[in-house]
Amino acid sequence: MNKSKLLKLLAMFLTIGVVAAACGSDSDGDDAAPATTAAAVAETTAAPATTAEVEVVAAGSLLDTVQARGTLNCGVSGSAVAFSETQADGSVVGFDADYCRAVAAAVLGDANAVNFVALTASERFTAVQTGDVDVLIRNTTWTQSRDSDVGMDFGPTTYYDGQQLMARASDGFTGSSQVSDIDGAIVCTNAGTTTEKNIAEAAEMAGADITLLAFETSDEVWETFIAGGCDITTTDGSALVGRKVKNQPADQEWVIFPATPISKEPLGPTYGQNDSAWADAVNWTVYAMIIMDEYGITSATVDSHVGDAGEVGRLLGGDGELQTVMGLSADAFYQVIKQVGNYGEVYDSNLNPVGLYREGSSNAGWLDGGLIYSPPAR
């Protein structure tokens, strides 16, 4: 090994040491320390390899690791109604869970090759940093600090959400209530979330003096709210809708407000930063599902579109396909649509049952006035 290579490797190990120390000082899940994977550092520091040096500097993308392992480790909530709910048999169902399956179908050809890892909000980023999960698909909001300081990269937004509040109608709240109306209230939420920070800031700006109780698990939040230990609970609007459907006791009436959410919560997949091949695989899985939604091609009809001309044909593995150059099989996205479905199928099957519909919402396709949009497959 020549001297310059030795110095570069030394620099790589020093960088990893700094990262590890920074991780140790993390006390707040939402402000977790920067994560830099060994692979990413190696990629940025490695000099052109000669044959003799290959084994020393070889460090590939997580894509290679996942394909060699044959299973995708996917971080989810496990208790997010309609997004990721762990069942009695250990399986996980929901919108987020289906995106885990979609990535497994694209990368491994098998939507069932997923090891679901249930994580609380404050555990989630550390699980990515330590490599416990390959991708996190857990009601996670894309924010500036998570994208930079926390060391994550974010894939396409799969659900445009916003934070709202929920209270009992018997306490005088209605769907038109505002944050200024919660003065003196005890508010429950989850630790390590954007929610916790947004409500503290919104209440202060609205001149409402609140007591904020932050719990590690969502179940604790809901048990406390139902028992009357807090007047208000607050989180992503989709979670409030799901919990109202699932947990509202017969003798209580819960109301959600304000009508316009207090924040933007774009939710989608996230993974460790600086691994472009892995990011591309995850991102284009989502984009392929969005494009097939635009064309109205579903799991039931996809077989009759293999061999189509243009974008559809390319995405399904035909002439001009671009999947193999990404390290995927030519039919990777055919497998996604066949085994899991397009964006709309996954949305409707998981979210319509709790009363969340795309029509008229930001989650409609761009041709229908929504924000769901993909770059072209070309």
Question: Quick one: which segment of 7-15, 234-242, 322-330, 343-351 binds ligand GSH (CB under 6 A)?
Answer: 234-242
| CB 138, min distance to ligand GSH, A | 7
Contact between 198 and ligand GSH (CB under 6 A)? no
| CB 240, min distance to ligand GSH, A | 8
- State which of residues 96, 231, 236, 345 lies at the interface with ligand GSH (CB under 6 A): 236
Q: How many CB atoms lie within 10 A of CB 41?
A: 19
| CB 235, min distance to ligand GSH, A | 3
Cα gap 378→370, rounded to integer Å: 23
- State which of residues 195, 270, 273, 374 lies at the interface with ligand GSH (CB under 6 A): 195
Question: Quick one: which segment of 78-86, 108-116, 172-180, 337-345 binds ligand GSH (CB under 6 A)?
Answer: 78-86
Decide: helix, strand or coil at residue 151. Answer: coil
- State which of residues 133, 136, 137, 239 lies at the interface with ligand GSH (CB under 6 A): 239
Contact between 158 and ligand GSH (CB under 6 A)? no
Question: Quick one: which segment of 192-200, 245-253, 273-281, 341-349 binds ligand GSH (CB under 6 A)?
Answer: 192-200
- Please, what sign has the CA dihedral across residues 286, 198, 261, 79? positive
Contact between 157 and ligand GSH (CB under 6 A)? no
Q: How many CB atoms lie within 10 A of CB 202?
A: 21
- State which of residues 32, 72, 76, 80 lies at the interface with ligand GSH (CB under 6 A): 80
Q: Which helix (H) or strand (E) holds 285?
A: helix 276-295
Contact between 234 and ligand GSH (CB under 6 A)? no
Question: Quick one: which segment of 189-197, 205-213, 325-333, 346-354 binds ligand GSH (CB under 6 A)?
Answer: 189-197
Residue of minimal Cβ distance to ligand GSH: 218
Helix locations, 160-275, DSSP H: 194-206, 218-226, 237-247
Instruction: Count interface residues toward ligand GSH (CB under 6 A).
Output: 19
Contact between 265 and ligand GSH (CB under 6 A)? yes
Contact between 374 and ligand GSH (CB under 6 A)? no
Contact between 298 and ligand GSH (CB under 6 A)? no
- Residue 369 zone, left/alpha/beta (φ > 0; ψ -120 to 50; rest): left
Under a CB-based contact definition with an 8 Å cutoff, are residues 197 and 262 in contact? no
| CB 64, min distance to ligand GSH, A | 29
Cα gap 218→85, rounded to integer Å: 12
Which residue, 195 or 329, has its beta carbon nearer to ligand GSH? 195
Count of positions (residues) in the chain: 378
Decide: helix, strand or coil at residue 327. Answer: coil
Q: Which helix (H) or strand (E) holds 8?
A: helix 3-24
Cα gap 268→265, rounded to integer Å: 10
Cα gap 187→221, rounded to integer Å: 10
Under a CB-based contact definition with an 8 Å cutoff, are residues 291 and 306 in contact? no
Cα gap 196→233, rounded to integer Å: 11
- State which of residues 36, 37, 140, 363 lies at the interface with ligand GSH (CB under 6 A): 140
Q: Which residues bind ligand GSH (CB under 6 A)?
A: 77, 79-81, 121, 139-141, 190, 193-195, 218, 235-236, 239, 243, 265, 267
